[in-house]
Amino acid sequence: MQVGTLVGVDYTPAMLEQAEKQVLRMGWQNVHLLQGDAAQISLDRRFDAALSTLAMSVIPDYPQALRNMARHVASGGRIAVADAKNSQRWYARPLNRVSTLLGWGAAASLAREPWKVVEGLVADCFYKEWFIGFFYAAGGKVF
């Protein structure tokens, strides 16, 4: 039983094509995919939650994208972000050069700190790191 609606937004047609294949393969009837700039898109409704994965390191105006994401979530709803980043752990810092090079291959900037923007958008910000500090998740309840 499918309950609710999922709206996926991506800037690139190639990513949306892959998502559409998955939607068709799984038979999901409640998924809508839209092409757009996350920093600029305006949707005609508010949602219970919003999730961004592996995107804030590549979106040029990621602070605006996060503000726009929170704007589209109803008060009391939740936002969450998960992405790669450079590690601040002393024992992993030498690997930041490698992660930066890998990030360039994906047009990603791993020096960004989107979780600091998230802190200003939510009431109960959580932040957690994995893989010796190279991946994180952050989020919370929208004001």
Q: How far apart are CA 73 and CA 47, in angstroms?
A: 5
Per-residue pLDDT tens listing for the chain (143 residues): 668 899 999 999 999 999 999 999 999 999 999 999 999 999 999 999 999 999 999 999 999 999 999 999 999 999 999 999 999 999 998 898 888 877 776 778 889 999 999 999 999 999 999 999 999 999 999 98
What pTM did the predictor assign? 0.89
Backbone angles phi, psi at 19, to 5 degrees: -65, -40
Apex 20 CA angle, 140 and 71, nearest 5: 30
Partners of residue 106 on adjacent β-strands: none
